[in-house]
Amino acid sequence: MFGGNNTSAMKRKLGIPENRPLADFLPAITIKAKDLATEITNFNVKKNDLKGEPKITNEHVKNNTDVRNLLGKSGIKPEQLPAEEDIKKLERRVKTADKELSKKKLGNHKSNKK
């Protein structure tokens, strides 16, 4: 999917810590592309009754290449897209905002009862 770059190379290129999943920093389009390639692989493994790691791996590589080529027709090269915000930081920020909103709602509810 990344034009010959493996996961470690993409992490270095995007400045992602080696101990963190690459997917936590990928743009949505790249995640969807990887999901599509995986689903095509799953479909073809069942349809063609593929057995063994080499056959399934070859199928998966082929599907990643096909999806990458499709993206390329729209001028999208996954390895050239910038990293997104760390999904874990985003999750923490949303959780904090939810807590603050809940506190505000609770505070407004109490003041309305007076």
pLDDT, one tens digit for every residue, the chain (114 residues): 999 999 999 999 999 999 999 999 999 999 999 999 999 999 999 999 999 999 999 999 999 999 999 999 999 999 999 999 888 888 899 999 988 888 888 777 655 655
Closest CA to 56 of 38, 74, 70: 38
Measured CA to CA, the distance from residue 38 to residue 61 in angstroms comes to: 10
Same domain, 54 and 103: no
Same domain, 75 and 110: no
The answer for residues whose C-beta is within 8 angstroms of residue 56's C-beta and 6 or more apart is: 41, 45, 50
Measured CA to CA, the distance from residue 100 to residue 102 in angstroms comes to: 5
Count: domains in the chain = 2
Measured CA to CA, the distance from residue 5 to residue 18 in angstroms comes to: 15
Same domain, 99 and 77: no
In a domain, 1, yes or no: no
Same domain, 74 and 41: yes
What would the two tokens of residue 9 be? 């190379």
The model carries a pTM of 0.75
Residue-range definition of the domain harbouring residue 18: 7-83
Same domain, 25 and 47: yes
CA distances from 41 to 10, 48, 49, 74, 79 (A): 23, 10, 11, 22, 22
